[in-house]
Structure 1
Amino acid sequence: MLLFIALANSHYFLRGSSVLGGYPQDGSGVDSAVIWLLTTFVDGRAFPMFGALFGYGIARIAWRQQALGPRAVRRLLWRRSLVLVAVGFLHALLLYAGDILTAYGVLLLAGAWSVRWKDRWLLVIALLFFLLGTLPSGGSSTIGGDPPDETMLPPDVATMIVNRAQTSLYVASLGPLGFVCPFMIGLWAGRRRILEQAERYRRSLRITASVGIGAAVLGAQPISLMLAGVVTPPHQSTLEVLGPLHDATGTLGGFGYAAMLALVAVRFQARGPGTVVNAIAAAGQRSLTCYLAQSVVWALVFTPFLLDLSGTLTVTTTALLAAATWLITVVLADWMRRTERRGPFEVVIRRITYRHAPR
């Protein structure tokens, strides 16, 4: 998940004579191939998985704390949401304008009530927001044509603070709407511990992985081939249909990825985790710290008054930078695991969330 997040976020900083969907259109053939890979397997597919896992985790927290009673559980989740909003706002202001933590915090403010909803309501709400996301729209990021503006690449600190504060408020207001569907499905799945009991749900997970990833790959092709320069961009009215198709099938792909990884985990459990699996698991246990560490790299590399490489790096070299950044965070997380250190931001969230409750 964190690798995909790095790949999905980093290319939006790139400048070019023509930019479409966050990708410069004047690159090499290798760049076109990388664009096809990213738009097929990563863009619009990583964040739904993130949203589903977020909802899954909230379901498990609510279950572990159920002895406190419904009101106490809601207050606990509200504290967690407020710290996400605070950390996310500072993250957006100082490091990365495309922060999603604030959106998740706002979603949890309302979603704290949904942990006690009946299953059918979770599924109905998820289906409703999924269908709304398929409606023709020009708001999909996959069809946007604008190069990075001063919010992403600020010329100075004052401009950065002013512009990003406004953008963060906008994302916090509308961003949660795009994550309602995966969040609700995550809550539903978390109640059943589907990912933790993958052996029991093996058949369902196989179907979810096959259908979800298959739909994501097929549904991505109209946009992926267009952004890769294989086909000519169609009329705007057609794009307003293809963009939501890419996003909606990406939601299914997010579910498919989560199911696939649960099945992979079963295989590793059977033979025991090795060095690589332990390192990746350590990054997962410190996911917030690793996510924020990625943004430190983006800020250093792309900010105009720092290294200012947004016009120098290509799609390919940026993807390599993203993969290297992820790898470094895995190594760092594994070092923290071996030295029995928690991620600093995980410590902050736990202290605020559980200040009056057993952990």
Structure 2
Amino acid sequence: MLTSTRRALAPDLARGVMLLLIALAHAHMYLSPKETGFRSYALDGSPLDLVVTGLQVTLVDGRAMPMFAALFGYGFVQIAARRGDDARRVLRRRSAWLFVFGCAHALLLFFGDVLAAYGLLGLVLAGAVRWKDRSLLVFAGLWLAVHGAALTLAGLRIAEFGGASGLASATDPVTAMIDRITLWSALTPFLVIDLVVPFLLGVWAARRRMLIEPQEHQKALRAITFIGIGTAVAGGIPLALVDTGLWNGAPEVTLYVLHGLSGVAGGLGYAALMGLLAVHLSPGPVVTALAACGERSMTCYLLQSVVFVAVFVPYAGGLGTELGTAAASGIAVLTWLATVATAEALRRNDVRGPAETLLRRLAYR
């Protein structure tokens, strides 16, 4: 059962809303197009498919995951404050179990799992909750170079071999499982590299209680919102033009790197925007349901994958070989709405998400 402790609205609201972007970013990966762009969207779709592709490459892809990484770091500080001297041991145990959850998710449902990446990140950087502010910011700044180098390598590979597409074409569960776990094992180290900077900045922001007390930081949150989201849009549009076929002969790998680095700013901008909204929104039915979804974000995230496998893969619903990007995104929106409704039903019955409950029992014993 839930405790009576009142939770801050902004972090849960951010997770709940961003799960929509996660659903949009993942649904098209279950399709089986013949040819894809740098972000694995079909290049031969209808005009509507290409419009959806352009919008999602600009506003969604590589923008939601950094936001969750920032909130992951934010949560580390909150856990450390509650656990005291025992904090790092608890954080590492929690991260280890999160890695196990991610392995199971990748094995059974989705090659693009991020839970394992968060778990590895927590295992490596659990001690960052005790770093000085200057160390956090300097390390984050230096790590951007590492991030850029990793994006360059990934971009060169995509340019030569193509993106991650066609995995939904496996006609039996065993072959699909082998395909998923093979690609996941190659992707996860790159995901960890992508998450370091927003994680560290989330730790920095948590020390200032920017989302716990957003009313005290509105000026800073507004600046982060406009600069972060503006940077993401400016950095995303060039690659969106390439992935929709509107710009040929562009320096594609360079634009891929720009897209990835600007996504870090976008994730932070989205998180700041949720902080501002938490100040001005009243806790009505919609806001309460979104926050309930965010409080149960891991359960809802896993439910998305369950639905996508049931709908798209050939040995289940089989729609992955028939639908385009726009239709897949429509299913993503409906899936997200269903998880919001499920989370709200759990909240009304005073029940935690099952994934959160299991992780809590394993981590805190």
Alignment TM-score, normalising by the size of structure 2:
0.90
The residue correspondences of 1:167-182 to structure 2 (distance < 5 A) are: 167-182=183-198
- What is aligned with 2:83? 65
- What is aligned with 2:350? 340
Q: Which runs of 4+ in 1 moved over 6 A?
A: 141-144
- What is aligned with 2:231? 215
- What is aligned with 1:28? 46
TM superposition shift of 1:298: 1.2
Whole-angstrom distance in 2 between the partners of 1:13 and 1:121: 40
TM superposition shift of 1:344: 0.3
Check conservation: 2:32, 2:166, Cα contact below 8 A: no
Check conservation: 2:225, 2:272, Cα contact below 8 A: yes
- Write 1 or 2 for the structure with the bigger share of helix: 2
Q: Could you say if the C-alpha distance between residues 142 and 29 of structure 1 is closer, same or farther in structure 2, counting changes exceeding 3 Å?
A: farther
**Which one is further off, 328-337 or 306-315?**
306-315
TM superposition shift of 1:147: 5.5
Whole-angstrom distance in 2 between the partners of 1:167 and 1:120: 37
- What is aligned with 2:4? none
The residue correspondences of 1:141-180 to structure 2 (distance < 5 A) are: 145-146=162-163, 148-150=165-167, 152-180=168-196
Q: Compute the RMSD of aligned alpha carbons.
A: 1.8
The residue correspondences of 1:162-311 to structure 2 (distance < 5 A) are: 162-234=178-250, 238-268=251-281, 272-311=282-321
Whole-angstrom distance in 2 between the partners of 1:158 and 1:243: 33
TM superposition shift of 1:288: 0.3
Q: Could you say if the C-alpha distance between residues 286 and 185 of structure 1 is closer, same or farther in structure 2, counting changes exceeding 3 Å?
A: same
TM superposition shift of 1:164: 3.0
Check conservation: 1:280, 1:330, Cα contact below 8 A: yes
Check conservation: 1:14, 1:147, Cα contact below 8 A: no
Check conservation: 2:102, 2:113, Cα contact below 8 A: yes
Matched, 1:37 2:52: no
The residue correspondences of 1:63-142 to structure 2 (distance < 5 A) are: 63-66=81-84, 69=85, 72-135=86-149, 137-140=152-155
Check conservation: 1:16, 1:147, Cα contact below 8 A: no
Whole-angstrom distance in 2 between the partners of 1:51 and 1:294: 19
Which one-letter code corresponds to 1:102 in the other structure? A
Check conservation: 2:66, 2:263, Cα contact below 8 A: yes
TM superposition shift of 1:123: 0.9
TM superposition shift of 1:153: 4.2
What percentage of aligned pairs have identical amino acids? 42
Q: Pick from 22, 32, 35: which aligns with 1:18?
A: 35
**Unmatched 5+ residue regions in structure 1?**
none
TM superposition shift of 1:175: 2.5
Whole-angstrom distance in 2 between the partners of 1:79 and 1:176: 18
Summarize deviations over 1:134-173 as a string: whole Å, max 9, x none: 34714149867336244x5433222233333333333444
Using CA pairs below 8 Å that are at least 6 residues apart, which structure has the higher relative contact order? 2
**Unmatched 5+ residue regions in structure 2?**
1-17
Q: Secondary structure at the match of 2:216?
A: coil
Whole-angstrom distance in 2 between the partners of 1:56 and 1:142: 33
